[in-house]
Amino acid sequence: MSNLLASEPSAYLQSAAHQPVHWHPWGEPALARARAEDKPILLDIGAVWCHWCHVMDGESYEDPEIAETLNRDFVCIKVDRDERPDVDARYQRAVQALTGQGGWPLTAFLTPEGEVFFGGTYFPPEANHYGRPGFLSVLNQVAGLYRQQRDKVAESAKAIRRHVAESLDEAKGGEVTPTTLERAASEMARLFDIRFGGFGTAPKFPHPAAVQFLLARWHDTREDWTREVVERTLTGMAKGGIRDHVGGGFHRYTVDERWVVPHFEKMAYDNSELLHAYLDGYAGLGHPLFKEVAQGVVSWVLEVLSDREKGAFYTSQDADVQFGDDGDYWTWTLDELREALPDGAFHVARRVFDVEEHGEMHHNPRKNVLWRKVDPAGDDEWPLLNDALRRLKTARDTRKAPYVDTTPYVNWNAMMASAFLHAGAVLDRPECNSLALKVLDRIWAEAWDEGRGMGHVIGRADPRGLLEDNVHAAAAFLDASEATGDDAWLTRAIAVMRYCGRAHWDDERGGFFDVARDRLGAAYLATPAKPVQDSPTPSANEVAALVLARLWAVTDDKEWRRLLDRQLATFGGAAPQLALYGATLLRAIDWALNPVTRVEVSGPRGQGPACDMHLLALQTYRPRKVVVRKTAERPAAPAATVCVGTTCSLPVATPEALGDLLR
């Protein structure tokens, strides 16, 4: 029997089609087979960009002896977490309840009803010195437990199911006040790494929404510490190895606290959120480094992560070219650096990027991650460094590049389109706007269904019914409305949020369910979930709150304000504790509590003062800002007004006067 993955649309599942394991995709046929044969289920959840998923595939799932055990004693199901975030969210909770940790690959053992009774993440083929048991021995123990101790299996499954059902509802009621924001900011300060920037210790992940929240706090309060956190964090990442200095964009996280050695996969969602943070950092604080970083993200996305002809953003770029190379494409030996560069550029690049005979990569100690240890020594060295980076890019382009997953997921396409509209304004790059609007037009034409909401993949009917696809699309439509002044985008955002109210809203207790009520499926998927914690993208309930706040600010429709207040009351009690992991919710609370800046520009389309004022309004950093572009029905002089809360300026007619008002 061959496995059943070759015909699946997922790149991750297709990559396992050749394996000797009799894989099934997620669905009722696999569960029915487990029930019919009375076998436990091995559930593997991973992604095509996931380094340790490839490691486990190569070490275990391609091993004939392990495959024989799996095929004899289990029904095996493989899931792509990008394709099925609803499946992943629920089974992550179950394994976290068992082991205290989650992540990918997720390795869960289920009853034929789909309930977890044992699990973990990565298992090596044989026991290792990190205390991880060998996979073959785990399989034999689990199969024996299932055959001989059904009572124990049932008891464990019941306890875990109870925990999953409780943990999936993250609603925690509470009043939101200015103290909510102060407490959350203090918690972020406690986690701030004063030496290297960022939050926490190794492994270290970016937290762009927290940076945006704290930048808004600094703008309002002018507390020095909030500015220091923002500057040091953005600078630490900009100079670290988490940033791809050669090709632009960011890797997913670093294994060390100094931002030096990354896991090399590059994700659309990380780069869209980081692009927003660096654009806000540049617009709000004026640092040229932040602009340089934002330009690099845009360049990488345009070159590698987009289809400019069709209008789509891709999902991810892998860490590795082949099993076991551990980032060789991205790293450099001293000899490789010397070969790529002339003497002057070589000496500058070697010193700036700390390239030595012994680098940072354990699998190949001669390989160096490029990170900016020091700045060039003087003005005459900057051109040499820039020349070195261009030459290194040319040299790296001759290498075989890691795989790019071209699946156009609606949620991540909407996030990147939003970031590109932001970049189009702040960097004054109209090509960013053109691509973003092309993508959003496709989402509306090919993913939206009035009765069934957004699909999960542009151009594919199923899966659908996921809250995150809907709310990220609505947020991006609002951005398009501000960027273009075209009311059709606002109408689309409203249509999507009204659908969310019909299909996802909990009338009884408030908040949105992550899956539409008519889409709940088998096993844990029958359990409604109301998550609010980021994992790893901003939670859909947080994004929904921010969209409601913006809709209220733009339309002045009291129904949006009522829903916003109910949403915040539903989750307000969780906000201070979530802190870093609820930063988008905190930003929505900020919108609800503090005055919104509304910039309204009217006047003719095309080149002229009205267009210039519109661009300036979009470029200027202010937290809680909405921009409304109006075209006068009769010829009229260009004019702009700025309202903060209920206080409005007199109209002004020039970009200079508008700039003074915004300052």
| Whole-number Å distance between alpha carbons of 38 and 146 | 10
Helix residue ranges, H only, 208-305:
208-221, 224-239, 268-285, 288-304
| Whole-number Å distance between alpha carbons of 21 and 75 | 10
Helix residue ranges, H only, 362-409:
381-396
Chain-centroid distance, C-alpha 228: 24
Tell me, what's the pLDDT at 300?
Answer: 98
Nearest by Cα to 62 from 20, 121, 24: 20
The b/e string for 514-532 (b: 16+ C-beta within 10 A; e otherwise) is: bbbeebbbebbbebebbbb
Mean pLDDT taken over the chain: 96
Structural domain contains residue 176: no
Tell me the average pLDDT across 566-588. 96
Tell me, what's the pLDDT at 635?
Answer: 77
pLDDT band with cut points at 50, 70 and 90 for residue 52:
very high
pLDDT band with cut points at 50, 70 and 90 for residue 641:
very high
Check whether residue 240 and residue 263 sit in a common domain. yes
pLDDT band with cut points at 50, 70 and 90 for residue 574:
very high
pLDDT at 634 over 90: no
Looking up residue 128, the CATH number of its domain turns out to be: 3.40.30.10
Collapsed DSSP state (helix, strand, coil) of residue 587: helix
Check whether residue 409 and residue 519 sit in a common domain. yes
Check whether residue 199 and residue 342 sit in a common domain. no
Which comes out higher in pLDDT, residue 537 or 431? 431
Backbone angles phi, psi at 530, to 5 degrees: -130, 70
pLDDT digits (tens, 9 = 90+) for 118-140: 999 999 999 876 778 899 999 99
Structural domain contains residue 174: no
Structural domain contains residue 450: yes
Tell me, what's the pLDDT at 2?
Answer: 67
Check whether residue 250 and residue 334 sit in a common domain. no
Task: Give me the helix-helix angle, 430-446 and 410-426, nearest 10°.
Answer: 160
| Whole-number Å distance between alpha carbons of 123 and 628 | 54
Structural domain contains residue 370: yes
pLDDT digits (tens, 9 = 90+) for 468-496: 999 999 999 999 999 999 999 999 999 99
Check whether residue 397 and residue 410 sit in a common domain. no
Nearest by Cα to 340 from 409, 390, 299, 374: 390
Tell me the average pLDDT across 252-269. 97
Check whether residue 378 and residue 437 sit in a common domain. no
Helical (H) or strand (E) element with 559: helix 558-571
| Whole-number Å distance between alpha carbons of 249 and 238 | 10
Tell me the average pLDDT across 176-195. 97
Give the end of a domain, one of 574, 593, 612.
Answer: 593
Check whether residue 572 and residue 439 sit in a common domain. yes
What residues contact residue 375 under an 8 Å CB cut-off, 6+ apart? 352
pLDDT at 1 over 60: no
Tell me the average pLDDT across 262-286. 98
Check whether residue 395 and residue 432 sit in a common domain. no
Q: How far is CA 230 from CA 92, 179, 190, 287, in A?
A: 31, 21, 14, 12
Tell me the average pLDDT across 29-47. 97
| Whole-number Å distance between alpha carbons of 94 and 167 | 9
- 226: buried, middle or exposed (CB in 10 Å: 19+, 13-18, 0-12)? buried
Tell me, what's the pLDDT at 523?
Answer: 85
Give the end of a domain, one of 371, 401, 431.
Answer: 401
> CB of 490 within 8 A of CB of 440?
no
| Whole-number Å distance between alpha carbons of 184 and 412 | 27
What is the domain extent for residue 59?
Answer: 11-167
Collapsed DSSP state (helix, strand, coil) of residue 287: coil
Check whether residue 421 and residue 336 sit in a common domain. no
Give the end of a domain, one of 572, 593, 614.
Answer: 593
Looking up residue 249, the CATH number of its domain turns out to be: 1.50.10.10
Provide the 10 A C-beta neighbour count for residue 660: 11
Tell me, what's the pLDDT at 600?
Answer: 98
Helix residue ranges, H only, 572-608:
575-578, 583-593
Provide the 10 A C-beta neighbour count for residue 663: 7
pLDDT digits (tens, 9 = 90+) for 203-223: 999 999 999 999 999 999 999
Check whether residue 568 and residue 445 sit in a common domain. yes
Structural domain contains residue 173: no
Structural domain contains residue 421: yes
Helical (H) or strand (E) element with 627: strand 625-630
Tokens representing residue 31 in the block: 């569960």
Structural domain contains residue 657: yes
Check whether residue 380 and residue 436 sit in a common domain. no
Check whether residue 314 and residue 201 sit in a common domain. yes
Four-point Cα dihedral 100, 106, 112, 116, nearest 10: 10
Tokens representing residue 572 in the block: 């307000």
Structural domain contains residue 172: no
pLDDT at 69 over 90: yes
What residues contact residue 598 under an 8 Å CB cut-off, 6+ apart? 553, 625, 626, 628, 642, 643, 644
Q: How many domains does the chain have?
A: 4
| Whole-number Å distance between alpha carbons of 413 and 194 | 34
pLDDT digits (tens, 9 = 90+) for 418-432: 999 999 999 999 999
> CB of 411 within 8 A of CB of 468?
yes
pLDDT at 552 over 60: yes
Helical (H) or strand (E) element with 267: strand 266-267
